[in-house]
Amino acid sequence: MKSIQTARFLRWWHWLTAMLLAAGLVACGAPHSISERAQASEAASSRASAKAASTLGTQWGEGRASATQSVQATRLYPDRPQALSQLLYSDEASIRQALGRSADRQLNVLLAGGDVEWAVQDGQGQALPIYSTRGAQNYQLAGRHGERYELVYTNRSQRSYEVVATVDGLDVLTGQAGSVQHSGYLLRPGETLRIDGFRKSQNEVAAFRFANKDRAYANHTPAGDARNVGVIGVALFEVRLGEPQPAVRPPRNQGAEPAPAAFPGDPASSYAPPPQYR
């Protein structure tokens, strides 16, 4: 009986020891595994939020012919844009260094579920590269100092959109601080819209040109803020169209003294004012 009991006891003891060793291995291994997963998650999060410090701004460039007319349109959802996106921009070397091997290169950004393609083209009509971290939407545009550029929107849908665009935090139509409440440009189904400068009048814009940040238009106009230099924004609103309105032109008054004005302090134009370099 003793020998049987002893054998059973020994077998039981070996079994218990094996279980304790297994439990010990699990207990030792679990924190290490969790730590590795946490580190991997932190690394992925860091890559997704990586961005290059902006080395460029947008200068008020040469005048370019660009005619517009007013169109009546009603936003279907006035307080809810169908797309709201931005591109941070800097020189390509800085962007690639910030994103490292995780950089993903593309030539446009899809807006409103793919209804609209947004690209930025240089003065020769070539798309500038846009970088992001794989799986993220931290879009960063690679610009070149002195290069003229255009914002290009192509409507692939059967819907009409209003495009409200900003450069360095300034509305491209008015030169005032950007707001989604401002009016924008019309983008009809199947059409391509090119915005190539800050609007000076109904017939002319001041070209967008990449420049040193200290030459940026936003740094030389009262509505500008240096903190916003290096970012391009867009908001899309689906609209229902009315009838186009003819352009309103002031009467020509050649050789005459300016007429008296009851409110001379009001701005003479609703378009972007020229920069005031210091």
Per-residue burial over 63-72, b if 16 or more Cβ lie within 10 Å, else e, is eeebeeeebe
For residue 194 the two structure tokens come to 């090119």
Give the per-residue pLDDT at 233.
97
Give the per-residue pLDDT at 243.
59
C-alpha angle 149-154-157 in degrees, rounded to nearest 5? 165
How far is residue 58's CA from residue 276's CA, in Å, rounded to a whole number?
15
Q: What is the pTM of this model?
A: 0.75
Give the per-residue pLDDT at 270.
82
Give the per-residue pLDDT at 49.
57
Low-confidence ranges of the chain (pLDDT < 50): 1-13, 16, 20-32, 34, 37-45, 246-255, 261, 266
H or E stretch at 149:
strand 148-155
How far is residue 108's CA from residue 156's CA, in Å, rounded to a whole number?
13
How far is residue 189's CA from residue 68's CA, in Å, rounded to a whole number?
18
